[in-house]
Amino acid sequence: MENHYEVIIIGGSAAGLAATLAIARTMKTVLCIDSGAPCNKFSDHMHNFIGHDGDSPVEFRSQAKDNLLKYKTVRLVEGKVIKVNKAKTEFQITATVRNTEKLYVGKKIIFASGVNDLINDVNIKDIEKFWGKSALHCPYCHGYEVANRATGLIFDNSRLMDMASMIYNWTKNITVLTNGTKISSICSESEQNELKRKNIEIIDKVITEFVGESGNLETVRFSDGSTISLDCVYIHPPFKLNCEDILNKLQVNIDETRLIKVDGFQRTNIEGVYACGDCTTYFRAVSNAVSQGNIAGAMCTKELFQNSWYE
């Protein structure tokens, strides 16, 4: 029937597209609904993905979609999912597509819906101009390109020492910026001494603004008017799960890190509901998202095979 699919995927970036491919190759019908807001939309290049190192994320997704359209059982839709209802043997998904509400029905559902980094909640003026370019989240994704440059670590919590020990591999020119939090409330005395031993400066002033051109950070300005010259910063802004309200209504378990809890086969606690990609892990990498998407696609179709075998 029209608008009925064996699997419906919410999210059409790396994880969702990989899951779509895995399902397509089993000859099962699959619908992938993409809102067009991937987590790496601010980045010009992606890294640490063999065969695609340095590629444009936009071109990667475009090529992936071209691959998928070769399969007759695939349908790709641009839209935003606004409601998911679980019936006895199926899921009813309502999505806004070209300003019109559409109803789709699927036997299985995969959340590849990612997260939304709340960068403006950090309250640093113009941070959005640098996010994904010189205001960075992950050294494994971007560290090589900014190696040996003047680097700031903006952390006001216990993750500071963990990040400092990692970033020190890429550059020794590090400044810790606690953004108004006293370092004594973040680090023990021995940890502070270790930072000093590594010649890492600590600044506990409130940050007010990033200054630079074309996404390249040049200066960080503080509330007292003083500044420091930096080439890049690492910062972990707060984030929110996309589709969080929908997930809560379905009673999908969210773990202590505020991500969807899945097992090794990308299954959630709700039968027929899978999840993959950035909405399930802190390890944000395109290669990891593709791997998880492949697993989710394979495992949900395996469940379909087994169900039909015993019918």
Contact 288, 281 (CB under 8 A): yes
**pLDDT tens for the chain, residues 1 to 311:** 679 999 999 999 999 999 999 999 999 999 999 998 888 888 889 999 999 999 999 999 999 999 999 999 999 999 999 999 999 889 999 999 999 999 999 999 999 999 999 999 999 999 999 999 999 999 999 999 999 999 999 998 889 999 999 999 999 999 999 999 999 999 999 999 999 999 999 999 999 999 999 999 999 999 999 999 999 999 999 999 999 999 999 999 999 999 999 999 999 999 999 999 999 999 999 999 999 999 999 999 999 999 889 87
CATH of domain 4-116+239-310: 3.50.50.60
- 3-class SS of residue 245: helix
H-helix or E-strand spanning residue 59: helix 57-68
Give domain 119-235's CATH superfamily: FAD/NAD(P)-binding domain (3.50.50.60)
The DSSP result for 116-140, as a single string, is EE-GGGG--BTGGGTBTTTEES-HH
Distance CA 120, CA 128 (A): 7
Indicate the pTM of the whole model: 0.94
Instruction: Classify residue 266 as left (phi > 0), alpha (psi -120 to 50) or beta.
Output: left
Contact 176, 196 (CB under 8 A): no
The DSSP result for 83-113, as a single string, is EEEE-SS-EEEEEEETTEEEEEEEEEEEE--
> Tokens representing 57?
């994320």
Cβ neighbours for 70, distance < 8 A, ≥ 6 positions apart: none
Helix spans in 143-285 (H): 159-167, 189-197, 244-250
Burial class (CB in 10 A: 0-12, 13-18, 19+), 190: exposed
Domain with CATH 3.50.50.60 in the chain: 4-116+239-310, 119-235
| Single-letter amino acid, residue 182 | K
